[in-house]
Structure 1
């Protein structure tokens, strides 16, 4: 008789977008979603704040995102295993707070990726093992203030720098609106491809975590995002988890692999900024016509547009070292700045699912979905993926 087949090695990855806890009772930030986060065998998020009592505001940034180190304990309590630190806030309070944050995460048992004392360290993947499966995380930032990128001899994030060009839309009309084109620096793209290939040699699954995209506006995808994602998948990446934009973004399929262009805010404690009336913030708000930050007494620690209250927990099922299914659980950020999971029959859940389908279609991505209880499943069938590629 043939021997019975051995059971599959199954690992569930759960992931969220930007997290920056800064409140009197840190554990309250994630209390409504902690069970869902801890249910993952591997849980990931983007660390959007520094955690330190040291440092001064970096003159290159719009402001300083920094919190007391005790706030980071909320991440370990909620079950985070790995976090990216490649973003546009990691050097907001200088190198002292930068290194303090990496130390705090390490002491909490949370692996970090995407930032380090130099470029070699920042390019090193964070590898988490669960049920005999090794999952490698590589993080990069295309959203960088001057000096925020890691170099051979300076601390920072792994850069995926981008060139922007503007093409006059109507040839005979000077001053007409421009077509905007974005292209990744060839040397940065080549380095990322090499990193993915090297990580694939030592891990079963490779997750790319880019900090990218146009913030605040829901459906717009910059050209360079697809350039990065496709290059990473062609090199062996199995999943792309984007963040930065402060709103959920479209989902794309490519060669049977999922690209979450933006997981949205998850916890972003931002008591109404004292510099809300500064020229830099006013300029940003004017560019995005109300989608950026503002004052809302009902949301005292979350001064974002109502569309930014829609968020998700992404999920990937990994069987025998291969991602076989992805999906997401719709969540809504409440007046206390807490993400709360939604049931399938909640009108807010229906709105979020319809919103993600609508913005994905507007971006040109065909992404069929189905319900699995409260979760939404995105099929990774090869035929479906090919259709999405041709859209």
Structure 2
């Protein structure tokens, strides 16, 4: 899903529901991936409502992600701002609003948070509900690609943004990227 003309537009919830209905009927686990939201390091915070970037509607990502879970998705992964954003547990299902870029060694800025490259490992139960997870932190280097980040910068940034943008989440994220549900 995305905001581009060559994707199913995430702003068109009728079309999203049609795709979701077909996927849920065919699949044991449904993982949604989308490209949306304003772009760049200054857009790492997840706003409420619609995001506009260069006069283009980039969607209401909270509404879209919740809609997908309500329509049967088990996990929602976002990309779009080219930086990481907060994660959320919604009705026992995991949402990552942006995992940034993972392997973009050319043609894009990799300075600061733009170079953070998380890899998510999730454990779900048979109903697709989140059980636990791990954010493996990588850092990108121009011309080389991602390398393991011993400082866990992606995990720390996702933890910071989740604390700011999802203050009531039941998720607990450690400095080294372990994700669990608060007891």
TM over 0.5: yes
Mapped contact 1:264–1:311 kept (Cα < 8 A)? yes
When residues 199 and 268 of structure 1 are mapped into structure 2, their CA distance, relative to the original with a 3 A threshold, is same
When residues 359 and 320 of structure 1 are mapped into structure 2, their CA distance, relative to the original with a 3 A threshold, is closer
Q: Aligned pair count?
A: 167
The structure that has the greater radius of gyration is 1
Does residue 201 in structure 1 map to residue 4 in structure 2?
A: no
Aligned partners of 1:244, 1:222: CA distance in 2, in Å? 16
Per-residue deviation, 1:246? 0.9
Partner in structure 2 of residue 227 of structure 1: 63
Q: Which runs of 5+ in 2 are unaligned?
A: 50-59
Aligned partners of 1:209, 1:335: CA distance in 2, in Å? 25
Mapped contact 1:214–1:220 kept (Cα < 8 A)? no
> Which of 129, 150, 158 in structure 1 is aligned with 2:8?
158
Aligned partners of 1:229, 1:303: CA distance in 2, in Å? 27
Partner in structure 1 of residue 74 of structure 2: 238
Aligned partners of 2:164, 2:94: CA distance in 1, in Å? 17
Q: Any idea what the Cα deviations from partners look like across 1:227-261, whole Å, max 9, x if unmatched?
A: 00111111111000000211111111111111101
Aligned partners of 2:44, 2:27: CA distance in 1, in Å? 33
Partner in structure 1 of residue 161 of structure 2: 359
Mapped contact 1:219–1:360 kept (Cα < 8 A)? no
Partner in structure 2 of residue 330 of structure 1: 137
TM-score, length basis structure 1: 0.39
Mapped contact 2:8–2:16 kept (Cα < 8 A)? no
TM-score, length basis structure 2: 0.79
Q: Which runs of 5+ in 1 are unaligned?
A: 1-139, 150-155, 161-183, 272-301, 385-391
